């Protein structure tokens, strides 16, 4: 959806949110940052809860959460913001009030501040009973002009974040069984290529080096072919996905794929979503970080966040997943990545996400 779309009413703002973040939020805070009249970023996070996971947070927890969000907004160099809290007043009001104060210290003006619950909204900045009654104002996302324009532009708003997670979950049943068989075939092919299936080459360093070089070359070819086929609208077969999922475990192959995440980023999101879902779960980290990187760069923060979580579940020590996690939680803009990557000489494995570790985030943050 056009990020410079005019939002003239609170109902327009609330209609835009699900299409900007990809799903209808619940028990959430949404921050939309602007420079002048241009929307430059949006951020969704879980409402903070108390020590038992229910009720409002403690004063210390609230300060920690608000400071985190204020740092993210500051990093994005926003000049103004729109704040929306989805949930009961006991949890939303203290958060938005404290956040408005923190943003004022950063010289960020809050243009609108809304609480949403049960199909109604309340504005904290409007006290006129004629337009902001105490019982709240009903609104309907689906009947909004903004929602229609979003749908026509190809944007989708899923019912919940959980539904988005399901769309990225591993395949199951017969499809999983077929992928297990394909991965066994790919493993035999890989072992043959690096010489492990041939007793004549065991222990021969030169043969092993030649085998690894062959794997890297074949892996780069597989990545290029996968991208080409995705652009032509042709889905990869099980054997091709299985082979990709194995060779991406080699850092040079993964980095080659990383460097190819250019052009139509939506094509890369689609490709690596498919590979991630079909790859064996223990092989998920490389395709997950490729999906996260592509999604982050094209503004799909929720997909990026879920993909990073998938990568860390598969391999908690996977460095690139840790760096992307820091980038997402720290509010690093993809533009900062482009600036650093454009001047880097060491390749993607050493680029800008590492420069500024992100602070701990309060719950799930997209």
Per-residue pLDDT of the chain (366 residues; tens, 9 = 90+): 444 455 778 999 999 999 999 999 999 999 999 998 888 889 999 998 877 666 678 888 899 999 999 999 988 889 999 999 999 999 999 999 999 999 999 999 999 999 999 999 999 998 777 788 889 999 988 888 888 888 877 788 999 999 999 999 999 999 999 999 999 999 999 998 887 544 444 455 566 788 889 999 999 999 999 999 999 999 999 999 999 999 999 999 999 999 999 999 999 999 999 999 999 999 999 999 999 999 999 889 899 999 999 999 999 999 999 999 998 888 887 777 666 555 443 333 322 222 223 344 556 778
Domain boundary residue, one of 101, 136, 161: 161
3/37 Cα distance (integer angstroms) = 10
Domain boundary residue, one of 161, 187, 211: 161
60/55 Cα distance (integer angstroms) = 14
The token duo for 9 is: 């009413």
Beta-ladder partners of 115: 85, 122
240, 310, 334 from 318: Cα distances, Å:
24, 11, 21
143 and 178 share one domain: no
Longest CA–CA separation in the chain, Å:
86
Q: Which pLDDT value is given to residue 290?
A: 98
145 and 39 share one domain: yes
- Exposure of 107 by Cβ count < 10 A (0-12 exposed, 13-18 middle, 19+ buried)? exposed
221 and 341 share one domain: yes
135 and 260 share one domain: no
| CA dihedral sign of residues 55, 61, 63, 69 | negative
**Residue 360 included in any domain:** no
Beta-ladder partners of 120: 117, 138
Judge contact between 7 and 16, C-beta under 8 A.
yes
Which letter, b or e, does each residue of 213-230 get, where b requires 16 or more Cβ atoms within 10 Å of its Cβ?
A: eebbebbbebbeebbeeb
65 and 178 share one domain: no
Domain that holds residue 74: 10-161
Angle at which helices 205-231 and 173-193 cross, to 10° = 140
358/29 Cα distance (integer angstroms) = 19
* Beta strand 80-86 pairing with 109-117: parallel
Q: Which pLDDT value is given to residue 89?
A: 94
157 and 236 share one domain: no
Q: Which helix (H) or strand (E) holds 337?
A: helix 334-343
Domain boundary residue, one of 161, 181, 198: 161
The Cβ-side half-sphere exposure at 57, using a 13 Å CA radius, reads 20
301 and 152 share one domain: no
Closest of 29, 39, 44, 41 to residue 6, by C-alpha: 39
What's the CATH number where 35 sits? 3.40.140
The Cβ-side half-sphere exposure at 128, using a 13 Å CA radius, reads 2
Q: Which pLDDT value is given to residue 363?
A: 64
292/286 Cα distance (integer angstroms) = 10
Q: Which pLDDT value is given to residue 66?
A: 94
Q: What is the CA radius of gyration of the chain?
A: 23
Q: Which pLDDT value is given to residue 357?
A: 31
257 and 122 share one domain: no
What DSSP assignment string belongs to 124-162? SS---TTTS-TT-EE--STTSHHHHHHHHTT---BS-HH
Beta-ladder partners of 123: 114
227 and 79 share one domain: no
Q: Which pLDDT value is given to residue 337?
A: 67
**Residue 1 included in any domain:** no
Domain tally for the chain? 2
Closest of 269, 264, 259, 230 to residue 338, by C-alpha: 259
Beta-ladder partners of 44: 30
122 and 236 share one domain: no
82 and 178 share one domain: no
Q: Which pLDDT value is given to residue 172?
A: 97
């Amino acid at each position: 959806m056009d990020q410079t779309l005019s939002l003239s009413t609170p109902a327009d703002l609330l209609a835009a949110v699900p299409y900007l973040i990809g799903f209808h939020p619940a028990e959430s805070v949404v921050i939309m940052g602007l420079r002048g009249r241009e929307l430059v970023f949006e951020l969704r996070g879980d409402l903070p809860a108390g020590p038992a996971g229910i009720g409002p947070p403690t004063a210390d927890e609230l300060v920690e959460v608000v400071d985190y969000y204020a740092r993210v907004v500051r990093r994005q160099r926003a000049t103004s913001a729109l704040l929306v809290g989805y949930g009961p007043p006991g949890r939303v009001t203290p958060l938005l009030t404290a956040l408005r104060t923190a943003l004022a210290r950063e010289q960020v003006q809050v243009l609108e501040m809304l609480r949403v619950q049960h199909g109604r909204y309340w504005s904290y900045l409007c006290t006129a009973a004629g337009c902001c009654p105490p019982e709240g104002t009903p609104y309907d996302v689906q009947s909004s002009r903004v929602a229609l324009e979003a749908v026509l532009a190809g944007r989708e708003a899923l019912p919940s974040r959980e539904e988005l997670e399901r769309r990225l979950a591993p395949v199951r049943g017969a499809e999983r069984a077929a992928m297990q068989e394909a991965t066994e075939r790919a493993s035999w092919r890989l072992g043959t290529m690096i010489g492990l299936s041939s007793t004549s080459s065991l222990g021969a360093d030169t043969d092993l080096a030649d085998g690894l070089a062959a794997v890297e070359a074949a892996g780069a070819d597989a990545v290029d072919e996968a991208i080409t086929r995705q652009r032509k609208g042709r889905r990869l077969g099980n054997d091709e996905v299985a082979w990709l999922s194995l060779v991406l475990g080699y850092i040079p192959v993964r980095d080659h794929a990383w460097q190819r995440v250019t052009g139509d980023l939506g094509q890369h999101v689609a490709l690596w979503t498919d590979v991630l879902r079909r790859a064996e779960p223990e092989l998920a980290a490389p395709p997950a970080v490729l999906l996260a990187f592509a999604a982050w760069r094209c503004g799909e923060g929720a997909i990026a966040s879920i993909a990073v979580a998938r990568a860390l579940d598969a391999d908690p020590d996977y460095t690139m997943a840790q760096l992307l996690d820091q980038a997402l939680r720290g509010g690093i803009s993809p533009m900062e990545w482009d600036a650093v990557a454009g001047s880097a000489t060491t390749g993607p494995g050493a680029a800008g996400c590492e420069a500024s570790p992100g602070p701990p985030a309060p719950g799930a943050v997209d």
